[in-house]
C-alpha cells in the first residue's frame, strides 16, 4: 500500500511537471551558477507562474545565431549594451513591452527591445592598504608611480571593451597618446574579468578594472573594507545588463510575464546580493545600505550602440598599437 501511494505520488508528480509549460532562458554561466542570481530568480518566478523556468547556461548571441530560428530560448538575459547592435541585427528579438519610465538609471532609457535589469559603473578597484592616495581622474591614473594595474582585453572581454570606449569618449583623437602614457602602469592584460580580478585579490596587482559595485561583495561577504573603487571626476562608463524576449517564443504569455517580473520589487531586490550590482528599477533609497553608501561618480557616460559600434574598431586598434610598443 505504501508503495502504491508512493508510486501514485511519483506518477502525479511527473504528470504535473509534464503539464507545466516550460520557459527557457539563456543566460551566462555566472548568472546561472549557484553563486549567481539564477537559482533565486527561478524559485521566485515559479511560485506564481504555474510553469517550469529553465535556465540554460552558455554564450548568448553566437549560440542564438548557430541555432537560428529553431532556438528553444524564450528569453535571453545577461546581454549588455556593447553587443545589442549585433543582437538586434539578428532580428530574433521582439519589443519588451515594459514601461521604460519604471527604470531608475543615470541616463534616459529609450530602447524598446532590450530592457536593463541591473547596472553599475565601470571603475578601477584598488586595495587601500597598497594605494593610500587613489587617482581621481584618468590623468592621475597615468601619473601614478609604482602602481600595477590589471585590465581586460577589449577583444575578449566586455568590461575591457567598455574601458577602451570610455577612454576614447573622453580623449577622442588623443586616446592613443593616453594609452601610451598609461602603458607603464599596466602590469598585464587578461582574457576576462575573472582572471584579472584573481590577480588583484591574490595580491599580484594593486588595482584592477572592475565595477564600482565590486567592493560591496568584499564588505558584505568578507567584511573587508579595504577594497574600494576610485571615482574619476570625468565621469564613468555606465554598464547595463539587459534582458530580451525572443520573437519566435512558443510561450509568449509566460515570456511577457517574466519581462514584467524583471521590473518587480521581488526580482529587483534579489539583484544586489547575487549579481553584485545596482537594481535597475529601484530608487537609490530602496537599495541595501552597502550599495547606497558606495561612492559613485557625478556623471555617467553612455554610448548608444551605433556610436559604440562606430568607435569600436578604431578604439581597439589604438589601444593595441599603444600597448604593443
Residues that bind other proteins (CB under 8 A): 26, 29-30, 33-36, 56-59, 61-63, 65-67, 70, 83, 86, 148, 153, 155-156, 161, 183, 186-191, 193-195, 197-199, 201-204, 214, 217-218, 221, 276, 317, 319-320, 323-324
CB of 2 to other proteins, least distance (A): 29
Give the nearest distance from C-beta 49 to other proteins in angstroms. 22
Query: Cβ closer to other proteins: 103 or 270?
Result: 270
**Closest CB to other proteins among 21 and 203?**
203
* Beta strands in the chain, from DSSP E residues, in sequence order: 22-27, 52-57, 75-80, 93-94, 115-127, 149-152, 186-190, 207-211, 227-230, 236-246, 278-279, 300-301
* DSSP designation for 183: G
Kindly tell me which of 98 and 210 has the beta carbon lying closer to other proteins. Answer: 210
Q: How far is the CB of 224 from other proteins (least distance, A)?
A: 11
Contact 50, 225 (CB under 8 A): no
Judged by beta carbon, residue 15 or residue 221, the one nearer other proteins is: 221
Residue 151 main-chain phi, psi, to 5 deg: -125, 170
DSSP code for 173: G
* Spatial distance between the Cα atoms of 228 and 128, rounded to a whole number of angstroms: 7
Nearest approach, Cβ of 55 to other proteins (angstroms)?
10
Which residue is listed with cell 609604482?
A: 146
Q: Which residues pair with 229 in a beta bridge?
A: 125
CB 302, CB 109: distance < 8 Å: no
**Considering beta carbons, is residue 96 or 218 the nearer one to other proteins?**
218
At closest approach, how far in Å is the CB of 317 from other proteins? 7
Amino acid at each position: 500500500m505504501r508503495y502504491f501511494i508512493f508510486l501514485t505520488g511519483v506518477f502525479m508528480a511527473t504528470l504535473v511537471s509534464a503539464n507545466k509549460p516550460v520557459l527557457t532562458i539563456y543566460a551566462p554561466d555566472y548568472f546561472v551558477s549557484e553563486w549567481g542570481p539564477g537559482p533565486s530568480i527561478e524559485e521566485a518566478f515559479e511560485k506564481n507562474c504555474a510553469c517550469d523556468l529553465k535556465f540554460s547556461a552558455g554564450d548568448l548571441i553566437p549560440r542564438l545565431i548557430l541555432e537560428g530560428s529553431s532556438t528553444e530560448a524564450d528569453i535571453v538575459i545577461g546581454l549588455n549594451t556593447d553587443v545589442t547592435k549585433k543582437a538586434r541585427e539578428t532580428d530574433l528579438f521582439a519589443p519588451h513591452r515594459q514601461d521604460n519610465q519604471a527604470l531608475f538609471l543615470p541616463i534616459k532609457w529609450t530602447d524598446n527591445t532590450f530592457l536593463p535589469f541591473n547596472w553599475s559603473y565601470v571603475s578601477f578597484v584598488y586595495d587601500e592598504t597598497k594605494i593610500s592616495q587613489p587617482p581621481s581622474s584618468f590623468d592621475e591614473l597615468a601619473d601614478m608611480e609604482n602602481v600595477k594595474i590589471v585590465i581586460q582585453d577589449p577583444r575578449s572581454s566586455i568590461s575591457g571593451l567598455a574601458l577602451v570606449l570610455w577612454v576614447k569618449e573622453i580623449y577622442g583623437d588623443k586616446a592613443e597618446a593616453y594609452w601610451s602614457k598609461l602603458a607603464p602602469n599596466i602590469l598585464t592584460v587578461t582574457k576576462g574579468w575573472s582572471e584579472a580580478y584573481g590577480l588583484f585579490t591574490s595580491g599580484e596587482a594593486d588595482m584592477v578594472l572592475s565595477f564600482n559595485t565590486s567592493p560591496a561583495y568584499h564588505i558584505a561577504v568578507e567584511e573587508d573594507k579595504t577594497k574600494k573603487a576610485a571615482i574619476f571626476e570625468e565621469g564613468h562608463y555606465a554598464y547595463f545588463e539587459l534582458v530580451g524576449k525572443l520573437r519566435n517564443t512558443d510561450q509568449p504569455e509566460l515570456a511577457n510575464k517574466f519581462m514584467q517580473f524583471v521590473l518587480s520589487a521581488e526580482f529587483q531586490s534579489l539583484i544586489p546580493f547575487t549579481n553584485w550590482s545596482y537594481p535597475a528599477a529601484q530608487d537609490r533609497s530602496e537599495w541595501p545600505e552597502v550599495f547606497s553608501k558606495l561612492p559613485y561618480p557625478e556623471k555617467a557616460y553612455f554610448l548608444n550602440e551605433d556610436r559604440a559600434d562606430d568607435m569600436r574598431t578604431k578604439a581597439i586598434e589604438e589601444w593595441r598599437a599603444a600597448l604593443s610598443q
